[in-house]
Structures are given as C-alpha cells and as structure tokens.
C-alpha cells in the first residue's frame, strides 16, 4: 500500500507515542518531531507507510538510546495470552470448523498491537475473544474473507511461510500453526530481527512455544512491516520460493500488498485509511488473498 497524505499526521502521532514510551522528555520529543518533519518532506508517497515507520522508530531509538521500550509489555502480553491457551484450544476443539476458528482466533490476536494505540488492555481483549461464539460468528458474512481460496491453496501446498506480527499475538498464531501441523504442513515462522514497537522477536516465538511446530527465522528487518528490499538474502530466497505465505497484521499488509506472491493477509483493520484502501469497515477481520492471476496462485511460484 502506498502512503496516503492522511498517514502523515499519524506518523507524528506515532513518533510522539514512541518517544514517550522510550522515556524521552519534552525537549527530546520535540527534537524527534522536528526530525520526522524533515523526513516527511523527502519521503516519497509511493513508499509504504511502514517505511516511514522504520524512520520514525529508528529516530526514536537513536535519540533515546532505548532499544526496546516495549520489552516488559511484550513479556506480559506473551504470558497473559499463554494463560488463556487452554481455553483458546477448547474453543477450537468444540467448533464445527477447526481451521476456520483457528484462522479467526489468529486474526483476533492481532488486536494486541501497540503501534496503533498505546493503551491496549490485553486482558480485556482476551476475555472478549474467549466469550465470542465462533460457530455463530462463522455463519456471518464477512466483507473480505477469502476462506475458500485459502482452503484450496492450503490443500495444494506442503509448506507455509508465516510472517508474524506482535508479541502475545504469537500464542494465537500457535493455535493456527498447530492446525497446520495436524494437516502435516511444514511451517517457517518469521519474526523481526530487532525490537520495534511490540513486534515479535525470536525470543517471543520461543516463549510462546512456536518452536515445537515450526522453524523460526528472522526477516532481517526491524521495521513495523516486512519491507522486502531491506530483508536478508536468506529470508528473501525462502519468500520467493514459498507456495503459501501468511502475512499477519496491518504493517505486513501495508508493506507487502503490492508484491506479486501467493500471500494471504490476516489482520484486524485498525486504521481508517487501510479500511478505505481495501473497502471494508474499521475493526473488520480480514482474510485477503493477494490479487493475482489464478494460474500463478496455482503454480505457487511467481
């Protein structure tokens, strides 16, 4: 997704929140804002928003010398989400369609996102999810929910590349990955290389037990989205050879929505600009197949 002019006020909002989270005082916050003001002038709107995100969080990191302000929040999100794991598993066990419920849980877990607002109440969100009746919800029509296309693609592949988003959310990814394991798929789980906001790192994936079901690697980036032209060569090779890619979160959608690859985007819509871009409502659960010629999806290699 390109950057819209409406993203610009939000870049400043993100910079302020990140600066405060990293402990910057008022003067330092203004210095960071001024640097972002300079960067905005030179930022091409053809770039994706996470590219500016990389600049924003890079400036905050450099100016505050705080490399991981969300460390504690991430640990808390992981342990809180893990504490709900048995209940979440029960929801899948009891549901009419295990895969669909696991998919939705994985999307719902995407609410644990500190990039959009800084005061996520993870416990409250977890309880909302636990109380949701999936069999009832599964019968509802969704605006962007390409479940049939996803099932067809899943049947035709033996391996899945899974791009993670946030800590805590990883527990929800694990539920979906366990379902893939039951279907004998091989999974590579991809996390950020270094801290950015509350995005998942290798340690988060391990804490949440992903290593039991998947091979964990880093994409090589520390931007809030998988920006291919700065990813590691190792990751890029795997990405280009993948037959089914799951991309979690809005940031990964924004970074990858123009890539020709067999991607399925899973996320909650948390921004009015993204909502307008994909023509859906705010808060919607999205399962979106990358638009590309059918023969390419079927061949799986692009």
Residues contributing to the site for a second copy (CB under 8 A): 5-6, 8-10, 12-13, 16, 26, 29-30, 33-34, 37-38, 40-41, 45
Closest to a second copy by CB, 4 or 147: 4
The DSSP letter of residue 47 is: S
Distance of closest approach, residue 38 Cβ to a second copy, in angstroms? 7
Kind of pairing between the strands at 215-218 and 285-289: unpaired
Q: What are phi and psi of 254, to 5 degrees?
A: -60, -40
The DSSP letter of residue 38 is: H
**SS3 of residue 203 by DSSP:** helix
Distance of closest approach, residue 224 Cβ to a second copy, in angstroms? 17
- Rg (C-alpha) for the chain, rounded Å, is 18
Closest to a second copy by CB, 26 or 86: 26
Q: How far apart are CA 26 and CA 30, in angstroms?
A: 6
Distance of closest approach, residue 276 Cβ to a second copy, in angstroms? 14
Closest to a second copy by CB, 34 or 152: 34
Helix residue ranges, H only, 85-188: 85-94, 98-108, 122-130, 134-137, 147-155, 169-182
Distance of closest approach, residue 281 Cβ to a second copy, in angstroms? 18
Distance of closest approach, residue 152 Cβ to a second copy, in angstroms? 39
In terms of Cα–Cα distance, which of 153, 218, 295 is closest to 210?
Answer: 218
Closest to a second copy by CB, 64 or 218: 64
């Amino acid at each position: 997704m390109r950057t819209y002019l409406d993203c610009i006020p939000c870049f400043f909002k993100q910079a302020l929140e990140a600066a405060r989270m990293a402990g910057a005082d008022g003067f330092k916050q203004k210095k960071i804002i001024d640097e972002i003001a300079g960067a905005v002038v030179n930022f091409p709107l053809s770039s994706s928003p996470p590219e500016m995100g990389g600049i924003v969080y890079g400036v905050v990191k450099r100016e505050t010398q705080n490399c991981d302000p969300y460390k504690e929040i991430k640990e808390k999100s992981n342990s809180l989400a893990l504490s709900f794991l048995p209940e979440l598993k029960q929801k899948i066990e009891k549901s009419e369609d295990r895969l669909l419920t696991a998919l939705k849980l994985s999307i719902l877990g995407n609410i644990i996102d500190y990039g959009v607002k800084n005061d996520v109440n993870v416990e409250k969100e977890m309880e909302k999810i636990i109380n949701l009746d999936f069999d009832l919800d599964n019968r509802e029509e969704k605006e962007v929910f390409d479940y049939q296309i996803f099932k067809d693609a899943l049947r035709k592949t033996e391996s899945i590349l899974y791009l993670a988003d946030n800590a805590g959310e990883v527990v929800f990814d694990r539920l979906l990955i366990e379902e893939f394991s039951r279907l004998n798929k091989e999974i590579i789980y991809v996390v950020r290389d270094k801290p950015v906001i509350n995005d998942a790192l290798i340690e988060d994936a391990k804490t949440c037990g992903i290593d039991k079901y998947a091979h964990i690697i880093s994409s090589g980036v520390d931007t809030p989205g998988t920006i291919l032209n700065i990813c590691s060569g190792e990751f890029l090779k795997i990405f280009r050879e993948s037959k089914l890619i799951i991309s979690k979160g809005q940031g990964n959608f924004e970074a990858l929505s123009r890539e020709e690859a067999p991607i399925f985007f899973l996320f909650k819509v948390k921004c009015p600009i993204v909502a307008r871009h994909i023509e859906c409502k705010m808060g919607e659960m999205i399962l979106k197949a990358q638009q590309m010629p059918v023969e390419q999806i079927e061949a799986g290699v692009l």
